[in-house]
Structure 1
Amino acid sequence: MTTSNQLNYSRIAEAIDYIRLNFRNQPSLNELAEIVHLSPFHFQRLFTDWAGVSPKKFLQYISVEYAKDILRDRQASLFDAAYEAGLSGTGRLHDLFIKIEGMTPGEYKNGGAELNINYSYAECPFGNLLVASTSKGICHMSFSDNESQSFTELIGRFPNATLRHFMDVIQQNALYVFNQDWTKLNQIKLHLKGTAFQLKVWETLLKIPMGKLTSYATIANNIKNPSASRAVGTAIGQNPVAFLIPCHRVIQAGGAPGGYMWGLTRKSAIIGWEAARINTDN
C-alpha cells in the first residue's frame, strides 16, 4: 500500500473506530475531523471518497439501531432464492456464485503436503491483504497489517505445502470483488481446509447478501442445528478467507457487532461500506 493510501486508511479507520464507540452521541463532522487532524472540508471529502457516503450517513449504517433493523428485515430469501437468482445487479457479493471445494481428507490431515500454493500481497479499501491460492481456488485470504506475521499464519495453516510468492489469475479474479462493477467477474472458487461442520457453516455465510446482517443463532437454524450457536461462532471465528466468506455479516442478535478476527473497527468499516453501496445501488 502506498504511503498516501496508508495514511488515508489510517485516518478513516481512526474515524470509524471513534464513530463505532460514540455513535449514540451522534458526533458532528467537526468533532470527527478534529479526531483525525483534518479540516471538516477535507475530512468530508476524504471520507466520502472512501465510503461513497458522508460521515453522517455512514454513522447510521454502523449503528446498533441500523443493525437491529436489518436483522428484523431478514427473510428466508437470504439463504435461498437470493443466492440462486444469479447476477441480478451490481454490488451483491452473493451473486458471484462463490463455490467451496473442500480439501481431501489427506490434504486436510497432512498440512497441505503435495499442494502448491501461490501467495501475494495486495491492497483493498480496508488495508493490505495476503491472498493465497491452489490450482483449484482461493485457500486463504487475510487482512495483513504485518506481512511477516500474516505469512507465518499462512505457513501455520499449510506447514507442508510448497509456497511461491506469485500472483496468479485466481487471486486477481478474487480481488476484483473490491471494484464497484462486479457483474463482470467470473465465478470465484474456494479450496478450503476444514471439517465438514466448518465447511457447512462457511457455505451458509456465502448466502448472506451484501448489505444484510444475520445472527449466530440464525446460522445455526439454517444448518438445521439450532442448539449449535456456540459451535457456529467458533467455526465463523476460524474462517480462513476474509471478506469473500463474509463472516463480518454475522453479528449478535441484539445488534452489537460481536467478534472479528481482523478487528472490530475493520468489521464496522466493511459493514458500513457495504451498506453504503447497497443503498447507492437501490
Structure 2
Amino acid sequence: MNTQQNINYQRIAEAINYIKLNFKDQPNLDEVAEKVNLSPFHFQRLFTDWAGISPKKFLQYLSLDYAKGILKDKQATLFDTAFKTGLSGTGRLHDLFMNIEGMTPAEYKNGGRELAINYSFAESPFGDIIVASTPKGICYMAFADAREEAFNNLQAQFPNASYTQMVDVQQQNALFIFTKDWSQLSNIKLHLKGTDFQLKVWEALLNIPMGGLYTYSSLAAAISRPTASRAVGSAVGDNPVAFLIPCHRVIKATGEFGQYHWGATRKSAIIGWEAAKVNL
C-alpha cells in the first residue's frame, strides 16, 4: 500500500469509527467530512470506493441494527425506538425500515405476524419447488428436494407470518416462467425484502437475458459498483427467489459455473437447458 493509499485508509477508518461512536446524533456528510479534513464531495467518493456503500447508507445500517435490538424488547414502543436511535420521529424510523428491510418497524417487531403468505409445491424441469406469495407478489421460491425442510426454510424467512397452502394467481404467473418466454417476466410481481444493495443486485440479475451469463465482476459493473464483486457475490447468494431471479446465470471469471445454493449440478442443468432453448 503506497503512502496516499495509507492516508486514505486511515481517513476512512477514522470516519467509520466516528460514525459508529456518534450515530445516535445522526451526523451529516459535512460533519464527518470535516472530521477527516476532506471536502464533502471528495469524502463521499472516497468512502464509497473503500467501504462499498455511501456514508449515509453506512449510518443507516448502524441505526437500523441498533433499532432492531431495541425492538426485540416487546415492551419498546416505536416512539422510544426512534428517540433512542437518534431519529426525529417514528416517520423517519418507518422510512429507515422500509428503505432497507422492505417492511415497517411494526412488521419487524411482530416478526411478520400480520403477513399472510400462501404457498404451494409444484414440479419443474429441475425438480420440485416451493413458491410463496403475499398479496403484493412472490416473496419466496426455492427448489424443494425435501418438502418439510423447504417449508421450514420458508418459515425461517417470515417466522411469525400466517401460512395457507394454496395456489393463487401470483404463483400461477410465476410458474409460467418454465414454459413461457422470459420477456413476459414483467407480468410477475415480486415482494422482496432486502437492503438497497441487494435489491439493486437482484434487479440487475433480472436484466440478464435467457442463455446469457455474467461474471460477478460484470454484474458489479452493471450496477456501477466495479470494486464490489465480493459484496455482489453475497447478494447473489442471498437471492430468495430461485430461477425467477436468475442467479444461476452468474459464473466465475474463469468460466467455471461455480457453486449454487440449490446444487452445482442443478445449476449446470439449468444453464444447459436455457442455452438449448435459445438455440432452437
Please classify the TM superposition score into its range, dividing by the shorter chain length: 0.5 to 0.7
CA shift at 1:192, angstroms? Answer: 0.7
**1:64-110: CA deviations, max 9, x gaps?**
xxxxxxxxxxxxxxxxxxxxxxxxxxxxxxxxxxxxxx833434665
CA shift at 1:196, angstroms? Answer: 1.2
SS at structure 2 position matched to 1:258: coil
- Give identity over the alignment, percent: 62
Task: Determine the structure 1 residue equivalent to 2:211.
Answer: 211
Task: Determine the structure 2 residue equivalent to 1:65.
Answer: none
After superposition, residues 168-179 of structure 1 pair within 5 angstroms as 168-179=168-179
CA shift at 1:112, angstroms? Answer: 2.1
Task: Determine the structure 1 residue equivalent to 2:267.
Answer: 267
SS at structure 2 position matched to 1:127: coil
Name the aligned partner's letter for residue 223 of structure 1: I
CA shift at 1:181, angstroms? Answer: 5.4
| Uncovered stretches (5+) of structure 2, i.e. residues with no partner | 1-100
Check the 8 A contact 2:182/2:210 in 1, yes or no. Answer: no
Question: Separation in 2 of the partners of 1:108 and 1:202?
Answer: 22
Check the 8 A contact 1:134/1:191 in 2, yes or no. Answer: yes
Task: Determine the structure 2 residue equivalent to 1:99.
Answer: none
| Larger RCO (alpha carbons 8 Å, 6+ apart) | 1
Name the aligned partner's letter for residue 192 of structure 1: L
Task: Determine the structure 2 residue equivalent to 1:242.
Answer: 242
Task: Determine the structure 2 residue equivalent to 1:276.
Answer: 276
Say if 1:154 and 1:184 are closer, same or farther in 2 by CA, change over 3 A. closer
Task: Determine the structure 1 residue equivalent to 2:138.
Answer: 138
**1:210-245: CA deviations, max 9, x gaps?**
000000011111111111111110110010000000
Question: Separation in 2 of the partners of 1:198 and 1:223?
Answer: 11
Check the 8 A contact 1:176/1:185 in 2, yes or no. Answer: no
Question: Separation in 1 of the partners of 2:143 and 2:271?
Answer: 15
Check the 8 A contact 2:118/2:134 in 1, yes or no. Answer: yes
Question: Separation in 1 of the partners of 2:178 and 2:164?
Answer: 24
Name the aligned partner's letter for residue 272 of structure 1: G
Task: Determine the structure 2 residue equivalent to 1:187.
Answer: 187
Q: Count residues with an aligned counterpart.
A: 180
Say if 1:216 and 1:186 are closer, same or farther in 2 by CA, change over 3 A. closer
Determine whether 1:158 maps to 2:158: yes
SS at structure 2 position matched to 1:141: strand
**1:37-90: CA deviations, max 9, x gaps?**
xxxxxxxxxxxxxxxxxxxxxxxxxxxxxxxxxxxxxxxxxxxxxxxxxxxxxx
Check the 8 A contact 1:142/1:150 in 2, yes or no. Answer: yes
Say if 1:232 and 1:110 are closer, same or farther in 2 by CA, change over 3 A. farther
**1:121-150: CA deviations, max 9, x gaps?**
000000000000000100000000000100
Task: Determine the structure 1 residue equivalent to 2:4.
Answer: none
Check the 8 A contact 1:176/1:182 in 2, yes or no. Answer: no
Task: Determine the structure 2 residue equivalent to 1:257.
Answer: 257
SS at structure 2 position matched to 1:117: strand
Question: Separation in 1 of the partners of 2:217 and 2:110?
Answer: 33
Task: Determine the structure 1 residue equivalent to 2:128.
Answer: 128
Name the aligned partner's letter for residue 217 of structure 1: S
Alignment RMSD: 1.9
Question: Separation in 1 of the partners of 2:154 and 2:116?
Answer: 13
**1:168-226: CA deviations, max 9, x gaps?**
01101110111145677770011011111111110110000000000001111111111
Question: Separation in 1 of the partners of 2:197 and 2:186?
Answer: 27
SS at structure 1 position matched to 2:253: coil
Question: Separation in 1 of the partners of 2:152 and 2:272?
Answer: 30
After superposition, residues 1-282 of structure 1 pair within 5 angstroms as 103-106=102-105, 107=107, 110-180=110-180, 187-280=187-280
Say if 1:184 and 1:264 are closer, same or farther in 2 by CA, change over 3 A. closer
